[in-house]
Structure 1
Amino acid sequence: MSTEKKVIQEFVLEQDNELRFEVESKNEKVYLTLKSGLAEVFGTELVKAKTYEFTSGAKVAVFTWHGCVIEVKGKTDVIYTAKETPMVIYSNCHAALELMRMEAEKDNKRGPIAMLVGPCDVGKSTVTKILLNYAVRMTRRPIFVDLDVGQGHISIPGTIGALMIERPASIDEGFSQEAPLVYNFGHKAPEPNTSLYQIVVSQLANTVKERLEVNKKTRSSGVIINTGGWIKGSGYRQLLDSAKAFEVDVIMVLDQERLYNELVRDMPQFVKIIFLPKSGGVVERSKSIRSESRDQRIREYFYGTPKNSLYPHSFEVKFPEVKIYKVGAPALPDSCLPLGMKADDHMTKLVLLTPNAGLLHHILAVSFSENEEDIISSHVAGFVCVSMIDNERQTITLLSPQPKPLPNNILVLSELQFMDTH
């Protein structure tokens, strides 16, 4: 038991100030308490006198509209008060969306569909969270759509998904993950298979639009879409396709004027394009930090968080009991095809795999589809991880969030891997 005293600091924040801090050190915990006044973290209000705990990897910004006193206990890697913050601009964006929702409610029409775009590490996910939290605090029920396969804010990385938001995100755990709609893409960036990415985005867009039709409250509340940081070349074309698929009304561009001007040029006149500054608290993440973050997301899927532990199951299935597919086959050279014939899109072709050692530690999506034709366009029941392959006994050992049996015997390979160290 360490006898070392915890560092206690008190910060008096004036109106429109922001306290920013980071916790990087492993096993370090930082405790935050609102002593007086009013404050929020990314749009979620802090409860006075309640202590919030933050662990390694946390990047926190406490904002106050009216002034407050904050106590911070523990060792932070960076901590400072910022007087310049774009929160007023983000709040104005929320107010504009809220006016559109009020109009939609009055006319029983669809509310605003807003998309956040910009390069990596400009705070798209954070602004998305702020706008969703503000909407929910106005008793709205917006749909959150995440198209960023690199990090996975709704499910694990390598997926896209949608989630109806009914209450503000908890400060330390994020949004409640009840009944998300998740589609498997299987790569940590769209580039390896843009054809497949386009199919799953269109499928998600259609399902979201159907859900808006059946729920009046959600229809007027609209949709807020977070996107990845791939914005050049085919990444830019992908953004245009996604905006078209979701029929967006508003695109908010964070921190890149060139992208803003390209969208003004290429999007229809009725789509509002807004340029937003990024927060000074946003930091660039290295490749290794991104990779660690992905591993952490997958670990949390199976084992939960320190505050909410989960206990996954491990069980064997026999080779013939499951069908494992990979999406994308090697392209056939033109010389192998009959004259004048074009190859089908090999990137969306399904290949049935024989269980082998190459599957070890890979994530497999458990598909809801009943047949091969619907595998790509079907959303998933969840994910399992291959922890062992026994060729002699013809069995695969799977790590799964729920006990045997699997909800379906159709599994789809993801390039993402997870080394289970528990």
Structure 2
Amino acid sequence: MSEKEFRLDPDSELRFEVEGKQDTVDLTLVNGKAEVFGTELAPDKPYTFFPGAKVAVFTWHGCVLKLSGPTEGTYVAKETPMVMYLNTHACLERLRRHADEGLSRGEDTRGPVTMVVGPGDVGKSTLCRILLNYAVRMGRRPIFVDLDIGQGSIAIPGTIGALLVERAADVGEGFSQEAPLVYNFGHLSPASNMTLYNILVSRMAATIQDKMVGNRKVAASGVVINTCGWIKNEGYKSLTHVAQAFEVDVIIVLDQERLYNELVRDIPFIRVVFLPKSGGVVERTQSMRASARDDRIREYYYGLRTKYHPHSFEVKMSTLQIYKIGAPALPDSCMPADMKVDDHMTKLVPVEPSVKLKHHMLAVSLATEPEDLLTSNVAGFICVLDVDEDLKVMKVLSPQPKPLPKTILILTEIQFMDSS
């Protein structure tokens, strides 16, 4: 196995990608101090990265690093925006301290609600991770909200999620996924059903505001929101809806001056900050995105480093209620006088189990009645492996053994071919 040692000067970073489908790469901090996206590295401990990982190891004071295994695009960068990112964290921390003081005086206040926006592939998720890690290292307990349904870093693609961040992200696996709050959207772009997307965003915002009211430490720590890379026309309107729903205090715009100027013009009462993207950000093709989505679902069932053992079992179709949200819109002339197009986008359509469901992901809703489906969060996801229409049973892949915790399911357009 190839081993290389790298000596980094202060304020520089080592960037590398893990190539191949099977190979892993080990990173070890030989001496000095370094961090990966805000998580400090322990000395002399090998950190394993899996195929597809894109890593930047930054040092404030200088360090020596060792890499073992096949990497590509490996180089040391002297120019990084990390000082600006740290300054942004310092400003947010000042707002948190201010909130702490207000809360101790009995005032109704809270820490900063920060939203990170910008086009695709500029490093929004990475910046969120850095800001959250720095907050945790200051003893904070911020909430991370991921509204980017294209990648679904909290559950699977096609969902929006939130989790309370109580410790720094694991260098290889990211934040601990204990007890996340997840809402199913069921599509890969907000454009597929803008009405439903905005309803779910508002629901998530209300739930998180309740959580902050009930917990002083969380209230002072604030929220960091990751958003989709769709920033034009309806996408832009969606960003302004997120800002209103969450009562955002700070919007960080990455790498898009036009978007920055539009937000400054349209939302003058919110602080808008422009930050450059990192030179290490890699643009992804459509096929790379599709592959990353499959990997994300596979990780949901099988784990990344900690190996999970999912269960496959048969479920009687008669025990399930499956719905699709949104019906094809009718032309205005065919609609009843009191109906709007929006009503179609939120209409519940019962789905008869059939072979057409094969490979589709189904969300297991926590709703007790079908009419609560729209605004109920989900327990998890099952994948339809096979459908036997004669025996009226469906074989599913589930993260936990049978029986299913709930039997009201939502059909999504997300598909997964389980090759594990």
Q: Which band: TM-score by shorter chain?
A: over 0.9
Residues 76 and 344 of structure 1, relative CA distance in 2, 3 Å threshold: closer
Give the equivalent residue in structure 1 for 2:343. 345
- Is the Cα contact below 8 Å between 1:316 and 1:396 reproduced in 2? yes
Deviation of 1:335 after TM superposition, in Å, equals 3.6
Residues 342 and 254 of structure 1, relative CA distance in 2, 3 Å threshold: closer
**In the alignment, residue 350 of structure 1 is paired with which amino acid?**
L
**In the alignment, residue 319 of structure 1 is paired with which amino acid?**
M
Give the equivalent residue in structure 1 for 2:106. none
Give the equivalent residue in structure 2 for 1:86. 81
* TM superposition score normalised by structure 1: 0.97
Residues 151 and 217 of structure 1, relative CA distance in 2, 3 Å threshold: same
**SS of equivalent residue, structure 2 residue 375:** coil
Give the equivalent residue in structure 1 for 2:95. 100
- Is the Cα contact below 8 Å between 1:25 and 1:77 reproduced in 2? no
Whole-angstrom CA distance in 2 between matches of 1:325 and 1:252: 37
Give the equivalent residue in structure 2 for 1:330. 328
**SS of equivalent residue, structure 2 residue 404:** coil
2:388 aligned to which of 378, 387, 390: 390
Deviation of 1:304 after TM superposition, in Å, equals 1.0
Asked if 1:362 is matched to 2:360, the reply is yes
Whole-angstrom CA distance in 1 between matches of 2:169 and 2:130: 9
Unaligned runs of 5+ residues in structure 2 are 104-108
Whole-angstrom CA distance in 2 between matches of 1:97 and 1:389: 51
Q: Give the stretch that moved more between structures: 340-349 or 226-235.
A: 340-349
1:416 aligned to which of 391, 411, 414: 414
Whole-angstrom CA distance in 1 between matches of 2:90 and 2:53: 28
**SS of equivalent residue, structure 1 residue 133:** helix
Deviation of 1:338 after TM superposition, in Å, equals 4.8
Deviation of 1:365 after TM superposition, in Å, equals 0.3
Deviation of 1:339 after TM superposition, in Å, equals 5.8
**SS of equivalent residue, structure 1 residue 90:** helix
Deviation of 1:340 after TM superposition, in Å, equals 7.4
Deviation of 1:110 after TM superposition, in Å, equals 0.5
Percent sequence identity is: 61
Deviation of 1:316 after TM superposition, in Å, equals 1.2
1:40 aligned to which of 10, 35, 43: 35
- Structure 1 segments, 4+ long, off by >2 Å, are 332-344
* TM superposition score normalised by structure 2: 0.97
**In the alignment, residue 187 of structure 1 is paired with which amino acid?**
H
**In the alignment, residue 204 of structure 2 is paired with which amino acid?**
L
The two structures, once aligned, show a CA RMSD in angstroms of: 1.1
- Is the Cα contact below 8 Å between 1:112 and 1:249 reproduced in 2? yes
Whole-angstrom CA distance in 2 between matches of 1:340 and 1:308: 53
Unaligned runs of 5+ residues in structure 1 are 1-5
Give the equivalent residue in structure 1 for 2:317. 319
Whole-angstrom CA distance in 2 between matches of 1:226 and 1:335: 40
Whole-angstrom CA distance in 2 between matches of 1:77 and 1:342: 53
Whole-angstrom CA distance in 2 between matches of 1:105 and 1:138: 13
- Is the Cα contact below 8 Å between 2:19 and 2:70 reproduced in 1? no
Deviations 1:160-192 (A, max 9, x none): 010000000010111000000000000011111
Pairwise mapping of residues 89-168 of structure 1 onto structure 2 (< 5 A)? Answer: 89-108=84-103, 109-168=109-168
Deviations 1:84-141 (A, max 9, x none): 0000000000000000000000101210000000000000000000000000000000
Whole-angstrom CA distance in 1 between matches of 2:216 and 2:140: 11
- Is the Cα contact below 8 Å between 2:120 and 2:229 reproduced in 1? yes
Give the equivalent residue in structure 2 for 1:289. 288
Q: Give the stretch that moved more between structures: 27-36 or 37-46.
A: 27-36
Whole-angstrom CA distance in 2 between matches of 1:55 and 1:335: 55
**In the alignment, residue 330 of structure 2 is paired with which amino acid?**
L
Deviations 1:288-337 (A, max 9, x none): 000000000101111111x2111111111111100000001112333434
Deviation of 1:24 after TM superposition, in Å, equals 2.3
Residues 257 and 316 of structure 1, relative CA distance in 2, 3 Å threshold: same
Give the equivalent residue in structure 1 for 2:205. 205
Give the total of aligned pairs. 415
Asked if 1:174 is matched to 2:174, the reply is yes
Whole-angstrom CA distance in 1 between matches of 2:74 and 2:173: 21
Residues 394 and 221 of structure 1, relative CA distance in 2, 3 Å threshold: same
Whole-angstrom CA distance in 2 between matches of 1:39 and 1:313: 40
Residues 17 and 337 of structure 1, relative CA distance in 2, 3 Å threshold: closer
Deviation of 1:373 after TM superposition, in Å, equals 1.5
**SS of equivalent residue, structure 1 residue 161:** strand
Whole-angstrom CA distance in 1 between matches of 2:205 and 2:290: 28
Asked if 1:399 is matched to 2:391, the reply is no
**SS of equivalent residue, structure 2 residue 296:** helix
Asked if 1:298 is matched to 2:294, the reply is no
